[in-house]
Amino acid sequence: MATIVGGPGSWSENILQYFLRNNQITKEDGAQITWYHAANHKAQVNEALRSTAHMIEADVLLPSDGSDHRQPIMAHPPETTSDNTLQEWLAEVMKSNKGIKLDFKSLAAVEPAMMLLENVKGHLKRPVWINADILPGPNGNSRVVDAKPFTDTVTSFFPDVTFSLGWTTGWHPEKVNEGYSWTMVKEMEYICNQLSQPVTFPVRAALVKQSFSQLLWLLKKSNRYSLTIWTGKNDNYSTEDLLYVRDHFDKKQVFYDILEPQNHEFKQAIGIKVNL
């Protein structure tokens, strides 16, 4: 399949090129990109828009009470209600120049969300990432989103979107935590080599050290691929693990969506100033 190259303003435009073009970063280095997490409720969206974050991440689901004709809302399970609909969320975020990452925990919300995105496509000239965990991963016990109907639905509306496709994971402080196995990365590559869009793989920081070989192999399979390293609230990992990735992987292919205080320590170690 031919690679869709995201030109300026397209949803598959590389986020490094987009923010470099807008003079918000100084070089093509994934560590320069900053994130605002779970900007679901109206107060969080306002805070995210005022922040220096480049990318705003939020969670889309259908309300459980059947209200609003099943219009997608912004909430992260176990929450099932929100003071914010996706339609309202998009109206606010469109006023900014920030990139968008929408996270889906179930298939049900995908098509109605794509229909709302279709209405504003002409006004969203920036990278848009659509995220779901499509495969079981290390210690993963959450339900996965069925990969083919998910990617087919999104692509039928937007062939030029960027996919963020991950594994369900868990992490336990009292036991040895296995990393991403060869079976896991090969299954992901089998799915993604049939796509034409850019794909980023969200991987858990506490599981990266055990998986260097597998993740390096995966990234080398296509220049469309990247990693987004994320952290769980109570995960235990070292800055050295992140620095090892930094030294051995292409800096343009790895993003770091990590929590404080590790984010500050990591950025300090690599000489990037953090706005607190």
Residue 17 lies in a domain: no
What is the distance between the alpha carbons of residues 161 and 102, in angstroms, rounded to a whole number?
11
Mean predicted lDDT score pLDDT of the chain? 92
pLDDT of residue 173: 83
Residue 87 lies in a domain: yes
Residue 1 lies in a domain: no
- Tens digit of each residue's pLDDT (9 = 90 or more) over 163-182: 999 999 998 887 888 999 99
pLDDT of residue 1: 35
CA 256 to chain centre: 10
Segments forming the whole domain that contains residue 130: 31-270
pLDDT of residue 174: 79
Residue 266 lies in a domain: yes
Residue 236 has a CB neighbour count (10 Å cut-off) of: 11
- Tens digit of each residue's pLDDT (9 = 90 or more) over 211-254: 999 999 999 999 999 999 999 888 889 999 999 999 999 999 99
Residue 106 lies in a domain: yes
Report the pLDDT averaged over residues 134-158.
Answer: 95
Q: How many domains does the chain have?
A: 1
**CATH number, domain with residue 199:** 3.20.20.70
Residue 175 lies in a domain: yes
The residue ranking higher by pLDDT, 89 or 262, is 89
Torsion angle, alpha carbons of 151, 155, 156, 160, to 10: 170
Closest CA to 38 of 271, 262, 259: 259
- Tens digit of each residue's pLDDT (9 = 90 or more) over 71-115: 999 999 888 899 999 999 999 999 999 999 999 999 999 999 999
What is the distance between the alpha carbons of residues 119 and 251, in angstroms, rounded to a whole number?
35
What is the distance between the alpha carbons of residues 259 and 242, in angstroms, rounded to a whole number?
13
pLDDT of residue 2: 39
